[in-house]
Amino acid sequence: MYLTKLLSFTLLSWFTFIGEPHLVDEKNYIDDVKEELVKTWPNNRAINLVFHGHSVPAGYFNTPSVRTMEAYPNLVLGKVKEKYPYAVVNVIKTCIGGENSVRGAKRFEDDVLIHKPDVLFIDYALNDLSLDMKATYKAWESMIIKAKERNIKVILLTPTPDKRYDLQSDETVLAQHRQQIIDLASKHKVGLVDSYDAFRKKVKQGTALDALMSQVNHPNEFGHPLVADAILKFF
């Protein structure tokens, strides 16, 4: 009886372990980039942070208003420069409003890799909602693989909210895309920024979701800092 229980517990623990995502440590994932950021002239070089995705990183708030300086890529730039005052840091956005990951993958080499990213951020999940998840998985994975082949640090972003989907549910199609991104980050040992969870925690703490959104699926000036703060943990 004891051996049977021990075997059952061992098998259950093993299956639980292999089912959990194994994510990279955000504290040291981009250590090589941080080493470059602390160098001073004339030993330093430009560091390129490239953001590839849809309207949210592009800076669309209430369409067609584009508030570039309040969107999370530029918020990240400001905070990175505060921490690394001697660094030359370029934020390059290859984002297109309304684009999904399948289209983004098609122009990946010509429009993204040409900028020689040191760190690449990918944020497409909101516009992937209408696509087959096998197609989006293939698109995301192709971009990850091509970037890693060039020794680029990759950080994937789960979706920011869409008010048409229950943010607290793990059963919606939005939550399924979030989980797929987590799985990809775990499989390919790349960075993960769980924007979805950052918003969900904020709402659980008592902030109304409407207070973080400029329209149905675009964060506002209070929502974007949640994503920026999650990214900054890597720096």
Phi, psi of 57 (to 5 degrees): -65, -25
- Measured CA to CA in angstroms, residue 82 lies from 37, 102, 104, 223, 232 at distances of 12, 35, 31, 21, 11
Separation between Cα atoms, residue 34 and residue 223, nearest integer Å: 26
pLDDT tier for residue 71 given thresholds of 50, 70 and 90? very high
Is 96's pLDDT higher than 90? yes
Is 7's pLDDT higher than 90? no
DSSP letter string over 30-63? THHHHHHHT--TTS--EEEEEEEESHHHHTBSST
Domain architecture of the chain: domains with CATH: 40-232 (3.40.50.1110)
DSSP letter string over 125-147? GGGGTTS-HHHHHHHHHHHHHHH
Separation between Cα atoms, residue 185 and residue 108, nearest integer Å: 18
Q: Are 81 and 150 in contact (CB under 8 A)?
A: no
The arithmetic mean of pLDDT across residues 157-162, rounded, is 98
Cα 54 versus chain centre, distance: 12
Residue 220 tokens read as 């506002």
Q: Is the dihedral of CA 175, 176, 177, 179 positive or negative?
A: positive
Give percent helix, percent strand, percent coil of the chain, each to the nearest 5.
Answer: 50, 15, 35
| Partners of residue 230 on adjacent β-strands | none
Burial call 220-231: b when 16+ CB within 10 Å, e when fewer = beebbbbbbebb
Average pLDDT over all residues of the chain: 93
Q: Is the dihedral of CA 13, 18, 21, 23 positive or negative?
A: positive
Separation between Cα atoms, residue 200 and residue 189, nearest integer Å: 24
The arithmetic mean of pLDDT across residues 212-232, rounded, is 98
Separation between Cα atoms, residue 105 and residue 159, nearest integer Å: 17
Separation between Cα atoms, residue 154 and residue 119, nearest integer Å: 6
The arithmetic mean of pLDDT across residues 117-136, rounded, is 98
The arithmetic mean of pLDDT across residues 178-188, rounded, is 98
The arithmetic mean of pLDDT across residues 165-185, rounded, is 98
